[in-house]
Every structure is written in C-alpha cells, then in structure tokens.
Amino acid sequence: MKKALISPNQPCMNYDKPPVELGAYVVQVEAEEFPVAEPLFWTDCDDAVVAYQFYWNSGVFYPVPQPPVVAPSQVTGENGPAVI
C-alpha cells in the first residue's frame, strides 16, 4: 500500500455551473511518508492513485473530473472567420 500526500490548500473543483469544490488534490504518491509542513498530510492509498489525477474527500479517493470543453470563439473579418 502506498501513501498519498494531500494538500488541503489545493482544492479540486468541478467547473459545472455553479462551480463546486470536490475535495483536496493528491499532490504526491510515495512508498513511504516523510515529514511535511502543515496543512499537508499523508494517508494510505491504493496503488492506482496518481498525483493530480485523484482528489481526496472524507477518506475516499476519486478521479479528477474532466474539464468542460469550450468551443473556440470566432471573429469575422474581411477575409472570413478567424479563430482566436
């Protein structure tokens, strides 16, 4: 079993409308823990947990949701549309 370093100061967000804070990012995964400054803390995790691809909420790990796809805006000029 590995150790996940949790950073409460780095919230994982779901950017649907309205945005919602889901939990705190897993910022590092190691075989053994080492001393860290507060408010960082270590907790046991599964081998599948990967830094910045999972977040932690109330003792459970979840995959980070995909950000919404935003269509590029277009500006029409004298030579036709230009993607900005």
pLDDT at 55: 98
- The span from the first CA to the last CA of the chain, in angstroms, equals 47
Do residues 39 and 64 lie in contact, with contact meaning Cβ atoms separated by under 8 Å? no
What is the CA 75 to chain-centroid distance, rounded? 33
Sign of CA dihedral 62, 28, 24, 60: positive
Q: Average pLDDT across each block of 10 residues of the chain; the chain has 84 residues. List them in order.
A: 97 89 98 98 98 97 85 64 60
pLDDT at 81: 62
Tell me the pTM: 0.78
Nearby residues of 15 by Cβ (< 8 Å), 6 or more positions away: 67, 68
Length, in residues, of the chain: 84
